[in-house]
Amino acid sequence: MIRSLPLRLVLAIGTLAVTPAFGGADSTMKTHMAIVGEIRKDPDLAPLPSLQIDPILAAVPVDDRMNADKAFDQPFVQELREGMSWYLAQRGLRVVESGADLRLAGTIESYEGWKGWGHWGVDLKLQVKLFRGSDLVLTESLRSFLKYSDDEDVEDEEKPKYKAHHLSSASFAEILFTRVGVDLSEKLISLLKERSKSLSGVASLAAPPSQPPVAPPAPAATPRR
């Protein structure tokens, strides 16, 4: 004879059955951004030049202890491009696939990861080059340095947000590299705001060239009497 299970255990099993873990086809950076990021539209971004993000390259491996390529369904550089494009558009920047005022070419130029012994995280530098047409108008390095003492603490911190979307959890790697994408996006926004005048393509109004003084007209001759 099979004994009936306690009601609390039955409820717990049912909850696990209907609350899937995050993963599979939905495990993309932009999907995680929509869950963990508190995204607010910034009206100051709409007047900025429109932006197109080219495929991001990696000049160094991105698998030092923390393998970024295994965090999501696609290689990290692809996830980063799609995630940043989506996030920037949600924040209010005009992001387009072609015909933009500015074109961004990004390259991961350095990468260091930590995994274990009280050190969990990544230190990544993304070199950003902005082009207007074929002209290079800006080169800058954006750094994302995220380091934590415990990976499980980070997972627990984000669990309520995933449960609100009927998902049980996300891995530390998914959360970490999503935060990297958000961090780089916010730093790019700050850079675009800071350089908005030079990136707008509108020349500053210069003072008109000075003209030589004009001599006053000669007085009319007095007729003789």
Is 222 among the domain residues?
A: no
Q: Supply angle C-alpha 142, 56, 108, rounded to 5.
A: 45
Average of per-residue pLDDT across 39-53: 96
Report pLDDT for 177.
98
Q: Is 86 helix (H, G, I), strand (E, B) or coil?
A: helix
Q: Which CA distances in Å does 76 have to 13, 43, 57, 81, 158?
A: 35, 30, 10, 9, 21
The whole model's pTM is what?
Answer: 0.79
* pLDDT, average across residues 114-132: 96
Residue 205 lies in a domain: no
Residue found under tokens 């669990």:
159
Q: Which amino acid is at 89?
A: A
Mean pLDDT of the chain: 84
Q: What is the pLDDT of residue 214?
A: 47
From CA 134, how far away is CA 113, in angstroms rounded?
Answer: 35
Element (H, E) at 184: helix 172-194
Q: Does 203 fall in a domain?
A: no
pLDDT at 210 > cutoff 50:
no
Confidence at 81, pLDDT banded by 50, 70, 90: very high
Is 201 domain-assigned? Answer: no
- Let me know if residue 208 belongs to a domain: no
Dist. CA 194–CA 189, nearest whole Å: 9
- Does a structural domain hold residue 106? yes
Give the pLDDT confidence score for residue 151 in this predicted structure. 96
Q: For the residues 172-189, what does the mean pLDDT come to? A: 98
Average pLDDT of the segment spanning 190-212: 67
**Residue 222 pLDDT > 60:** no
Q: Count the domains in the chain.
A: 1
Q: Which domain holds residue 167?
A: 42-196
CA distance 63 to 112: 8
Summary count for the chain: helices (H), strands (E): 6, 5
Confidence label for 206 from pLDDT (cuts 50, 70 and 90):
very low
Whether 182 maps to a domain, the answer reads yes
Say which residue, 206 or 151, is predicted with more confidence: 151
Residue 33 lies in a domain: no
Q: Residue 116 sits in a domain of what CATH number?
A: 3.40.50
